[in-house]
Amino acid sequence: MRVKVRLIRENRVVDIDLPNGSRVSDLLKKLNLRSVSHIVIKNGEPIPESYQLADGDEVEVLPVVSGGL
């Protein structure tokens, strides 16, 4: 299956191929991102690591790291 991912900080959209039944945690692993420092958002609402994604899903990934202030 294929998921469309918008990386908010980089302002870039990428298509990610994942095995069917993959979860948000699998997506983050594939992107090489840690779940303690990223939030995945779907339709404006955050979704947990165990959320099961479906083909054609569109999600956003927001890093939680401080802006430095």
Partner 1 sequence: MAVKCSRCGKPAVAEIRYTRSRLCREHLIEFIERRFRKGNEEFKVFKNIRRIVAAVSGGKDSLAMLYLLHRFSSVYGYEIIGLTIDLGIDRGKEYSTKSVEAAVESFKKLDIEYVVVDLSREYGYTIDFIRDRGRRLGIRRPVCSVCGITKRYIMNRFALELGADAVATGHNLNDLAQFIFTNMYGGHIDELIKMYPKLPGGNGFTAKIKPVFMLYEKETTLYSILNNIRFHHDTCPHLENGIGGRFQTAIREKLEQLEEEFPGFMLNYVLTYMRRIRPLMVSGSSMGGDGDGDSGEKISVGRCRICGMPSLRDVCAFCSIRSRVSLKVSETISRSRGD
Chain residues binding partner 1 by CB under 8 A are: 8-9, 34-37, 39, 41, 45-52, 54, 62, 64-69
The CA-CA-CA angle for residues 10, 12, 18, to 5°, reads 110
DSSP H helices, the chain, are 24-30
Closer to partner 1 by Cβ: residue 8 or 14: 8
Q: How far is the CB of 44 from partner 1 (least distance, A)?
A: 9
End-to-end CA gap in the chain: 40
CB of 7 to partner 1, least distance (A): 12
